[in-house]
Amino acid sequence: MSKVITPNQTEAGASDDTRRMLSQAFSVSTLGPLIALLIASAFFAIQSPRFLTGTNLSLVVQQVMVIGTLAIGQTLVILTAGIDLSNGAVMALGTIVMTKFATDYGLNPFAAILAGLIVCALFGALNGTLVTRLGLPPFIVTLGTLNIAFALTHIYSNEQTISDLPAALTFFGNTFKIGETAITYGTILMFVLFFLTWFVLQQTAVGRHIYALGNNPEAARLTGINTRRLLIMVYSVAGLIYGIAGLLLISRTSVGDPQAGQTDNLDSITAVVLGGTSLFGGRGSVLGTLVGALIVGIFRNGLQLMGVKSIFQVLITGVLVILAVSVDQLARRRQK
């Protein structure tokens, strides 16, 4: 009567153990990308003696700072089985609001930053509301808001670059020194954001709910999770993060540039995918995204040091994306 349920008990032993090991390896889904990052680093270190210097590595991180931060928001959205094409445009709008408010209106720079962050968060909320209330696919919604944010940026800025910014707006471009290496506060902020997002995703109930929502929305709803509210929250937080990315962009360029961020949406998706997060939602890790962003940065930097033309860097990034997704698919098929 009280049979214990262990199907496949005969063949269990070995296949069960390998299965478990595989699934554990994938719970550390950053592992594959991390190995790729290390191999690439080792390769470039051999090719160029300047590669492994502190100054150069600090530069790499600065170069990926904006895309990396955008990719944090992108990761959150992709984990819910969505996608956000509007993030670069929303970020650009945020930078114009921040810089224009601080210069033209002479607003307190902190108030100007806050205004920019709010605009970005509201755009995120708009994306989330359209996705949940109208049931439109995220791809279409954010394609629409991409154009709206892009147009607003150009209308509002009158196509003018905004310069002569107050110091507070470029604070995150300032550096401090560890030994000989200069590190910007902006890179520290990016790492802090990655850590906070990792913490929320891995250590809190909201994080579990985001994974469940992307994995099986109906199951999430039936267990009593308010999936609409959660989705709107995810898009809004992502918007806020794009605003922070905008602030980091200002700190790097010292201007408000209406032309900024036009391909950043695709670059941020590249970082997320290279980091091993599934575009189908519910699987992946924000630390993977950090590794993914660093892989792009290290390839660009390393190839540059080797004297490879920049257009070839783009070509290699394309190959990398396809390679990363194929490896991921193959591994998953073997798991089944």
Partner 1 sequence: MESPAQIPVLQARGLVKRYGNVTALDGTDFDLLPGEILAVIGDNGAGKSSLIKALSGATIPDEGQIFLDGKQVHFRSPLDARKQGIETVYQDLAVAPALAIADNLFLGRELRRPGVLGSVFRMLDKKRMLTEASSHMQDLKIGIRSMRQAVETLSGGQRQGVAVARSAAFARHVVIMDEPTAALGVKESGMVLDLIRRVREKGLPVILISHNMPHVFEVADRVHIQRLGRRVAVVRPHNFSMSDAVAIMTGAMAGEEVTNN
Distance, in Å, from the CA atom of 195 to the CA atom of 201, rounded to the nearest integer, reads 10
Across-strand partners of 156?
none
Across-strand partners of 181?
178
Residues 52-111 that bind partner 1 (CB under 8 A): none
Residue 295: closest CA among 67, 48, 74, 27: 67
What tokens does 36 get? 């790729």
Q: Which CB, 108 or 223, lies closer to partner 1?
A: 223
CB of 150 to partner 1, least distance (A): 35
Residues 160-199 that bind partner 1 (CB under 8 A): 199
Distance, in Å, from the CA atom of 1 to the CA atom of 5, rounded to the nearest integer, reads 11
Residues 296-325 that bind partner 1 (CB under 8 A): none
Q: Which CB, 152 or 225, lies closer to partner 1?
A: 225
CB of 136 to partner 1, least distance (A): 24
- Binding to partner 1 by CB under 8 A, coded x per residue (else -) over 253-292, reads -----------------------------xx---------
In order, the DSSP letters of 17-79 are HHHHHHHHHHHTTTHHHHHHHHHHHHHHHHH-TTTTSHHHHHHHHHHHHHHHHHHHHHHHHHH
Q: Which CB, 109 or 214, lies closer to partner 1?
A: 214
- Binding to partner 1 by CB under 8 A, coded x per residue (else -) over 205-224, reads xx-xx-xx--xx-xxx-xxx
- DSSP type of residue 282: S
CB within 8 A of 324, min separation 6: which ones? Answer: 33, 36, 273, 274, 276, 292
CB of 5 to partner 1, least distance (A): 5
Task: Give the interface segment with partner 1, choosing from 5-13, 57-65, 244-252, 308-316 (CB under 8 A).
Answer: 5-13
- Classified as helix, coil or strand, 256 is strand
Work out which of 108, 147, 174, 204 binds partner 1, going by CB under 8 A.
204
CB of 221 to partner 1, least distance (A): 8
Q: Which CB, 154 or 208, lies closer to partner 1?
A: 208
- Classified as helix, coil or strand, 146 is helix
Size of the site for partner 1 (CB under 8 A): 35
Q: Which CB, 132 or 215, lies closer to partner 1?
A: 215
Cβ pair 117, 97 in contact under 8 A: no
The CA-based angle 117-119-125, given to 5 degrees, is: 105
Distance, in Å, from the CA atom of 138 to the CA atom of 124, rounded to the nearest integer, reads 11
Told to check if 134 binds partner 1 by CB under 8 A, we report no
Task: Give the interface segment with partner 1, choosing from 42-50, 56-64, 70-78, 204-212 (CB under 8 A).
Answer: 204-212
Work out which of 20, 50, 133, 309 binds partner 1, going by CB under 8 A.
20
Q: Which letter, b or e, does each residue of 77-102 get, where b requires 16 or more Cβ atoms within 10 Å of its Cβ?
A: bbbbbbbbbbbbbbbbbbbbbbbbbb
C-alpha distances out from residue 5 to 2, 14, 102, Å: 9, 18, 66
CB of 331 to partner 1, least distance (A): 14
Work out which of 55, 108, 163, 203 binds partner 1, going by CB under 8 A.
203
Told to check if 3 binds partner 1 by CB under 8 A, we report yes
Binding region for partner 1 (CB under 8 A): 1-8, 19-20, 23-24, 26-27, 199, 203-206, 208-209, 211-212, 215-216, 218-220, 222-225, 282-283, 335
